[in-house]
Structure 1
Amino acid sequence: MDLTGATIVAKALKQQGTQRCYGICGIPVIDLGYCIQGEGIEYYGFRNEQAASYAAGADGFMSKRPGICMSVSGPGMTNCISGLANAWANKWPMILIGGAHDTNQDGTGGFQECDQLVASLPFVKYYVKVSSVERIPFYIAKAFRESMYGTPGPVYLDFPGDILVKKANEDSIKWFDYVEDIPKTLADPTCISKAFDVLKNAKNPLVIVGKGVAYADASDEMREFIEETKLPFLPTPMAKGTLPDDHPQFVGSARSLALKDADVVVLACARLNWILHFGLSPRFRKDVKIIQIENDAKEIHQNVKSEVVLYGDAKCILNQLNEHNSSTAKYTYESDSEWWGRLNDKVESNKKVSEAMYNDKTLPMSYYNSMFVIQNMIPKDCILVSEGSNTMDIGRTILENYHPKHRLDAGTFGTMGVGLGFSIAAQAVHKDKRVVLVIGDSAFGFSGMELETMCRYKMPITVIIINNNGIFTGVEEIEKDENALSIPITALQPDSKYEMMAEAFGGVGHSAKTPEEIAEALKISLKSDQLHLINVAIDPYGSKKPQEFAWLTKEEDKKAKI
């Protein structure tokens, strides 16, 4: 029997265990979309390729198999480059399948002709223009291996239109086996012993849990390590929930103190990049000793030379640490130490400051009292998606997470516009979970039309817009005579009725201007099987509480010490 290239692509994807595909159909991939559905793969059609590509990356993070995105040629494919870049920065497995002009039109100015391979180059591990129908399964299998093995990341497959419609006899096609999960490796046993030698000499130890621990499905092993050693820990933003935020050894509320005064840091699958201030003074001690758990050789000694490197799979390494500790090291940090006392005092003092802000009844609402209501009402096992500037930063300190890979945010690349795509992917992957998106009004604008996508696929997502009429800060009103020379560059249209967008597509919209109105809207939303959008009006001039350090390390402070 003869099979078209599109049919072979779909069958090869199915053979690799693909369950979902995100994208936008059009020339030359319309038939491919139908073939994908025909193989029992769910297809989620978006309103913008950028949001679809973000969804595919998030799917890869949650599932540990490459998230699949499909795009049309030319501008459709280039719209996906932000998604490739986001997956690249976060080290998430993803495959973009891009349609392209016919092979015989190379260099002729064909429809949407451009060098899509070169366009993808900075952000992919592997790319190829598929030139043989019979070899399609080879390229699909290779794409999965490249995306998953070594450092996870994105891959681009370029499919000319003529390859997708061309036929090949099934007997001439070589099919490839399912690409197994990446083989796991142990750390050097001598380094395991050395790590405990360093810990035993620490006065102010700290564990930093990165999202790589969650990706490695190592939360149980990390919990055992934390609880047996009695060490304080804090997570990087998307690692929240790897251990629950209400864990007694969680010191996120004393983050600045913990980072600044720790003399030994167990850096568990986290990177010393801008999120952790490069590991440098004044945010870290100049003499801090790093015990680095890492599976990407390129990250070893990055910005700060590690005292001990535990290179390998996080789950395996944490098992090694736990076994060595129970049998040999028998290390437990003193819970009555001066360090624990300082951390606990700071946690309590910061909680008192925060509680005063949560209980402030002033209207319009602030970020703090509005999010406090949200925190008290959303389910503990919901997938929480957070996006925005102040909305995401403040939300990280208020909105708690209790399960691994249950928080998605702007991530390593600081990407705005990911929220709705991430939420769709979260609901597609976890159909039995409640998905809650807390997003700033500016961030919502990047991909707001994906509300229609949510409604079309009957996703009961709760979208909460924290609306301050602006980017960082807004305005109460814009005068009639103001124009592009006078309207503040951070301002957005005041009093925008975002809730009406949800209603336009068949969802339910709510406007909330008081904590009580937020609570009532959430009560209704969290029992519903429909999309709900809650438009929360807050003070346009509200801001974050004062910070000991600026959130972004300045250039004069960023001087590597290796």
Structure 2
Amino acid sequence: MSTKLKNKEQETSEKPKELSGSSMLIEALAQEGVDVIFGYPGGAILPTYDEIYKTGIHHVLARHEQGAIHAAEGYARVSGKPGVCIVTSGPGATNVITGIADAMIDSLPLVVITGQVATTVIGTDAFQEADIIGITMPITKHNYQVRSVEEFPRIIKEAFHIATTGRPGPVLIDLPKDVSLATGIFDYETEVNLPGYQPTLVPNRLQIRKVVDAVTKAKRPIILAGAGVLHGKASEELLSYVEATKIPVVNTLLGLGGFPGDHDLFLGMGGMHGTYTANMAIYESDLLISIGARFDDRLTGNLAHFAPNARVVHIDIDPAEIGKNIKTEIPVVGDAKLAVQMLLEEQEKMGDTADWCAKLQGMKQEYPLWYKEDGETIKPQNLIELIHEVTNGEAIVTTDVGQHQMWSAQFYRFNKPNRWVTSGGLGTMGFGFPAAIGAQFAEPESPVIAVIGDAGFQMTAQELSLLQELNLPVKIVIVNNASLGMVRQWQQLFHGERYSNSLFPVQPNFVKLADAYDIKGMRVDQLSDLKGALKEMLAHPGPVLMDIRVAKEENVYPMISPGKGQHQMEGVKPL
């Protein structure tokens, strides 16, 4: 075949094709490199599911739409790629609302496709109709309702672009059934043109030099590293910068893993249940460099006492976060990776932090995290320490929200990025287990452990069926204190020990539940049996559910009570 003829055939094959709306979606997902979809079918989205059947694209059928959206979140958090979730209209769409809100506040890139009734009956209260555009407008980075098949390719391309650029977040596409059936030209080669959406990636060099000058003059500098370090893939650059400048690091809850947890200059997690050293370092600092953190209330405590003597540098790709909660002296808008690279380039003279670092190292030694052992009773802190030991700190750990989340953050030292998957800003019960399923798809060869409270697990326990069907080697560790642990703790501390609807006198037999799904189940009550059981769990090639009975009235400490400042932590105990 001649080169001329071959080129002519290539041109012909590359001409835009005429496809149905559903076919366009599947073709676009393939071109975007999507390797797995999480979802649940229904009437309005059936044309799309028919295309999924024809093409054989990898679809994971969750047992509830909430499971699908949280699995997509876990996949996105670990892989760094957009998680894709497809559900039907009405209740299918409303069942993913919590996951969308969770992804929005935690900056997770999602593309969510919801079926919708035909355009001819939108607004008539048709069967399984819900105004998902109106419902999700406040909790999406952007949303679309497709009104013609001709605009669908552009919408899909824009959705992936918006979800993954700038500050990541969820984008929703509402697809009416008649549009999914209609045919049109599929042209996916057009460039994205969004004049109103132009995220600033490259920081202003003048602002970077102001930071450099501030670092040179500072005596007590601190870096607060948030999830933006992870989203910006800036972990290596941050490590290089810290080792060059000798500036200690505090992580936010969602920033854990962005800086090695065993590094000498790591002070721990800051905030309500952070370490004493991390919070006191922020309180006593004279320069606070925030990278990709949003200064939420669980981090800051009483704003009047947050870094009261510090000049504040805020590096963030989202300008709306700068100055929102904390007065910022040196704002830097841009990508975290580029910002830290530029700081490294510009920082020639280092500040003298030797005395400051020595003081903080002494503080770390004198005021470590602690708990009191109690014979054969399993303390949850000891459980997390042992999980870290038997996994060599290499596991991907997912959690819901509450006491087990805080103990995991405190006692599982994360040395690598994207090993920590938790619901931070929204605090969603039921998140951790399906998120572990998504994480396992993102990294099939990595150990994935869902550390879950006994209450939160019951919110999405039906996804055990997925472990059974796919033999996913997810390990579930239920931290069972027979209560809504954090609710019970707050009722004890602030509501006169009136435990209103927070205790579970009756629970399911979790081992029998696992057996019902043909999954290995284990129950551990004694501390002396725990390490061996955890090793047995990890050695098992398939999924495992462990019911770990821990001390029922153990509380999470240290703690900054509501209205208190970072220097007013309770439960701090010198070594």
The normalised TM-score by structure 2 is 0.86
Of 372, 388, 399, the match for 1:386? 399
Distance 1:510 1:517 in 2: 11
- 1:421 and 2:429 matched: no
Contact 2:287/2:310, CA 8 A, preserved across alignment? yes
Letter in 2 for 1:262: S
Contact 2:395/2:446, CA 8 A, preserved across alignment? yes
After the TM superposition, which residues 326-337 of structure 1 pair with which residues of structure 2 at under 5 Å, given as runs? 329-335=348-354, 337=355
- 1:43 and 2:56 matched: no
Please list the CA deviations of residues 217-266 of structure 1 after superposition, one character each: whole Å capped at 9, or x if unmatched: 11110000111111111111121111211111111142221122112111
Change (3 A) 1:179 1:362: farther
Q: CA deviation at 1:128?
A: 2.2
The answer for the alignment partner of 1:117 in structure 2 is 133
* Bigger shift: residues 460-469 or 236-245: 236-245
Contact 1:441/1:470, CA 8 A, preserved across alignment? yes
After the TM superposition, which residues 345-384 of structure 1 pair with which residues of structure 2 at under 5 Å, given as runs? 345-351=362-368, 354=370, 357=372, 360-384=373-397
- 1:106 and 2:130 matched: no
Letter in 2 for 1:343: L
Of 266, 288, 293, the match for 1:270? 293
Task: Please list every run of 5 or more consecutive structure 1 residues that lacks an aligned counterpart in the other structure.
Answer: 476-485, 558-562
Distance 2:117 2:279 in 1: 53
Change (3 A) 1:528 1:37: farther
Change (3 A) 1:201 1:538: same
3-state DSSP class of the match of 1:228?
helix
Change (3 A) 1:380 1:370: closer
The answer for the alignment partner of 1:147 in structure 2 is 163
Of 546, 549, 553, the match for 1:537? 549
Please list the CA deviations of residues 504-558 of structure 1 after superposition, one character each: whole Å capped at 9, or x if unmatched: 11211000112232222221221222110110001222212353x22x5569x9x
Distance 2:200 2:138 in 1: 28
The answer for the alignment partner of 1:320 in structure 2 is 342
The answer for the alignment partner of 1:91 in structure 2 is 107
Change (3 A) 1:205 1:38: farther
Change (3 A) 1:231 1:150: closer
3-state DSSP class of the match of 2:43?
coil
- 1:501 and 2:513 matched: yes
The answer for the alignment partner of 2:216 in structure 1 is 200
Of 24, 31, 40, the match for 2:40? 24
Distance 2:521 2:79 in 1: 31
- 1:217 and 2:239 matched: no
- 1:432 and 2:421 matched: no
Distance 2:135 2:207 in 1: 42
Of 37, 62, 72, the match for 2:78? 62
Q: CA deviation at 1:488?
A: 4.3
Distance 1:177 1:59 in 2: 28
Of 272, 283, 292, the match for 1:260? 283
Change (3 A) 1:199 1:51: same
Letter in 2 for 1:104: T
Distance 1:220 1:540 in 2: 40
Of 267, 291, 298, the match for 1:251? 267
Contact 1:135/1:173, CA 8 A, preserved across alignment? no
What's the RMSD between the two structures over aligned residues? 2.5
Distance 2:558 2:506 in 1: 26
Q: CA deviation at 1:417?
A: 1.7
* Bigger shift: residues 362-371 or 265-274: 362-371
Distance 1:18 1:37 in 2: 16
Change (3 A) 1:516 1:204: same
Change (3 A) 1:488 1:370: same
Contact 2:399/2:431, CA 8 A, preserved across alignment? no
Please list the CA deviations of residues 96-150 of structure 1 after superposition, one character each: whole Å capped at 9, or x if unmatched: 1111112222344321122221121111232222122233212111211222333
Contact 1:363/1:539, CA 8 A, preserved across alignment? no
Please list the CA deviations of residues 439-496 of structure 1 after superposition, one character each: whole Å capped at 9, or x if unmatched: 1111212211112122222210111000000012799xxxxxxxxxx98410124464
Distance 1:541 1:487 in 2: 12
The answer for the alignment partner of 1:560 in structure 2 is none
3-state DSSP class of the match of 2:290?
strand
Change (3 A) 1:350 1:22: same
Q: CA deviation at 1:369?
A: 2.4
Letter in 1 for 2:40: I
The answer for the alignment partner of 1:480 in structure 2 is none
Distance 2:79 2:503 in 1: 38
Contact 1:206/1:233, CA 8 A, preserved across alignment? yes
Change (3 A) 1:343 1:471: same
Distance 1:286 1:134 in 2: 56
Q: CA deviation at 1:158?
A: 1.1
Distance 1:540 1:25 in 2: 41
Q: CA deviation at 1:393?
A: 1.1
The answer for the alignment partner of 2:502 in structure 1 is 490
Task: Please list every run of 5 or more consecutive structure 2 residues that lacks an aligned counterpart in the other structure.
Answer: 1-16, 269-274, 489-497, 568-575
Change (3 A) 1:12 1:465: same
Distance 1:114 1:474 in 2: 33
Distance 1:219 1:453 in 2: 33
Q: CA deviation at 1:7?
A: 1.6
Runs (4 or more) in structure 1 with deviation over 4 Å come to 37-40, 177-180, 552-555
Q: CA deviation at 1:206?
A: 0.8
Distance 1:385 1:228 in 2: 32
Change (3 A) 1:379 1:23: farther
Distance 1:420 1:202 in 2: 44
* Bigger shift: residues 241-250 or 498-507: 498-507
3-state DSSP class of the match of 2:173?
strand
- 1:166 and 2:188 matched: no
Q: CA deviation at 1:61?
A: 3.4
Contact 1:468/1:474, CA 8 A, preserved across alignment? no
Letter in 2 for 1:296: D
Distance 1:113 1:286 in 2: 51
The answer for the alignment partner of 2:319 in structure 1 is 297
Change (3 A) 1:63 1:40: farther
The answer for the alignment partner of 2:6 in structure 1 is none
* Bigger shift: residues 527-536 or 126-135: 126-135
Contact 1:454/1:461, CA 8 A, preserved across alignment? yes
The answer for the alignment partner of 1:483 in structure 2 is none
Change (3 A) 1:421 1:37: farther
* Bigger shift: residues 370-379 or 396-405: 370-379
The normalised TM-score by structure 1 is 0.88
Contact 2:215/2:351, CA 8 A, preserved across alignment? no
The answer for the alignment partner of 2:530 in structure 1 is 518
Of 341, 344, 348, the match for 2:361? 344
- 1:401 and 2:419 matched: no
Change (3 A) 1:268 1:528: same
- 1:460 and 2:497 matched: no
Identity level (%):
27
Q: CA deviation at 1:216?
A: 0.7
- 1:447 and 2:460 matched: yes
Letter in 2 for 1:374: I
